[in-house]
Amino acid sequence: MTDDDRQVMDADHGSTKQTTARPLDTSFVGPTSSTGSNRTATAVVYCEGNFGALDGKTANGLVRHSERYKILSVIDSEKAGLDAGMVLDDKANSIPICCDLAESLAKAATLPDHFIFGVAPSSGMLSIRERSLLLEAISHGMNIVNGLHEFLNDDPVFQAACAASNVEILDVRRPPDKKDLHIFTGDIDRVTCPVIAVLGTDCAIGKRTTATILTQALNDRGVRTVMIGTGQTGLIQGARYGVALDAIPSQFCAGELEATIVDAFMVEGPDVIVVEGQGALSHPAFSSSTFILRGACPDGVVLQHAPARKSRCDFEGMRMPTPASEINLIQTFAETTVIGLTINHENMSDAEVGSAILRYQGELGIPATDALSRSPERLVEMVLSAFPKLAEKLQAAA
């Protein structure tokens, strides 16, 4: 079945309405290169001054996992000469960090197909220097992948540059036309498999990474699992289903997510659906978590927390909530249950991670683990213990 064939009933109007994974244009960013060959498209990721840091989460995510692109290098002059995998996880992955675009191009065997803007600043806008760099990449004949709130396809300067170099720009966060947006209908009740949302106590805390690892671990165990991307990084990485939730008008956020989840369920027939979280329900600067809880109506929630983080990301005067307070808020706001806690080990030793896991398990009465430093099997067991019918199905299939 093709994307054009994927439809679900619009309960309000009695007609069919497409609910494909948006806003991705797979003709531009699919598994093949922009030349139309069958090789994976190649890309350089820009992350000046932020690789391995909070605002570099798009680049960090692409280096750790990308189904859509082969990442050739990362640009960050502050960490030039290092291996990207070593910077992130102390595991070499042969992706070099370069000081500038010229060095990245010199290290590439052929011209990269794409230049990905891998920084996620809170402003969501380009600086003057960054605009110049993107135009330079275009002049070399590289397509641009832009995850910011600033849509470059609307800029006459970028339009002219693309026409001159015969390249394209993907504005990942551009929402569909309003006439194509969905309102919430209640069709989520048609989804009969468990829906699990990975939420957090802060933004940029590792929700997407944990959701990705959880999805892969469940699939490896024979539990057919589909992940729903809700932010620009997950969509750039290659999520087949998703929506850049923070770019959708609020009236349609719950409906767009609901429609995407229903589409994934009807097409894929999964055993589990994992929904990537955004922001934090308790965070006054972000509202995406409310729409995830409303639109996805998750049967369970995995909560991500950074024990060593004292204040909110980008909000130094705002103290971090406790996992217990966030769990109480989530379970009060929505008819769901927090089934486990996952830890972001930033600024923590391995011994401190182990102690935190034991402490939170005792305090909260739920399983706890670190998705990156502990076995992914712990995530699988977290889900199977919360949804025993999945374990029974695995045993029956064995």
Contact, 265 vs 238, CB < 8 A? no
Predicted confidence band at 396 (pLDDT cuts at 50, 70, 90)? confident
| Architecture category of domain 180-397 in CATH | 3-Layer(aba) Sandwich (3.40)
Long-range contacts of 286-292 (CB under 8 A, 24+ apart): 286/203, 286/246, 287/250, 288/230, 288/245, 288/246, 288/253, 289/199, 290/333, 291/245, 291/250, 291/253, 291/254, 291/257, 292/197, 292/199, 292/230, 292/245, 292/257
- CB neighbourhood size of 37 (10 A): 10
Residue 186 DSSP class? S
What does each C-alpha distance from 135 to 52, 106, 141, 157 come to in angstroms?
Answer: 25, 18, 10, 9
β-sheet with 97-98: strand ranges across: 97-98, 69-75, 41-46, 114-117, 143-146, 169-171
Domain with CATH 3.40.50.720 in the chain: 25-171
279 Rama class: left (phi>0) / alpha (psi -120 to 50) / beta: left
Identify the pLDDT of residue 48.
95
- Answer whether the bond into residue 96 is a cis peptide, omega within 30°: no
Between 5 and 334, where is the model more confident?
334
Between 30 and 296, where is the model more confident?
296
* Average pLDDT for 290-299: 98
Q: Is the pLDDT of residue 15 over 50?
A: no
Say how far apart CA 330 and CA 336 lie, in whole Å: 8
Say how far apart CA 323 and CA 328 lie, in whole Å: 9
- CB neighbourhood size of 290 (10 A): 17
* Average pLDDT for 383-396: 94
Q: Is the pLDDT of residue 88 over 50?
A: yes
* Average pLDDT for 72-100: 96
Classify strands 41-46 and 114-117 as parallel, antiparallel or unpaired.
parallel
- Which helix (DSSP H) or strand (DSSP E) does residue 381 occupy? helix 377-386
* Average pLDDT for 175-182: 94
- Mean pLDDT score of the chain: 90
Predicted confidence band at 123 (pLDDT cuts at 50, 70, 90)? low
Predicted confidence band at 314 (pLDDT cuts at 50, 70, 90)? confident
Angle at CA of residue 318, ends 307 and 200, nearest 5°:
45
Say how far apart CA 112 and CA 250 lie, in whole Å: 37
Q: pLDDT > 90: what percent of the chain?
A: 82
What does each C-alpha distance from 2 to 18, 267, 310 come to in angstroms?
Answer: 11, 10, 47
Half-sphere exposure of 44 (CA within 13 A, CB side): 32
Predicted confidence band at 122 (pLDDT cuts at 50, 70, 90)? low
Q: What pLDDT, in 10s, does the model give residues 16-53? A: 333 343 433 433 433 344 445 567 999 999 999 999 98
What does each C-alpha distance from 357 to 182, 196, 306, 378, 395 come to in angstroms?
Answer: 40, 21, 11, 12, 28
Q: What pLDDT, in 10s, does the model give residues 193-222? A: 999 999 999 999 999 999 999 999 999 999
* Average pLDDT for 167-187: 95
Any idea which of 120-124, 279-283, 376-380 has the lowest mean pLDDT? Answer: 120-124
Query: What's the predicted TM-score (pTM) here?
Result: 0.85
Between 364 and 31, where is the model more confident?
364
Identify the pLDDT of residue 39.
76
Predicted confidence band at 272 (pLDDT cuts at 50, 70, 90)? very high
Contact, 263 vs 350, CB < 8 A? no
Identify the pLDDT of residue 55.
87
Say how far apart CA 56 and CA 118 lie, in whole Å: 6
Q: Is the pLDDT of residue 1 over 50?
A: no
Domain with CATH 3.40.50.300 in the chain: 180-397
* Average pLDDT for 86-113: 96
| Architecture category of domain 25-171 in CATH | 3-Layer(aba) Sandwich (3.40)
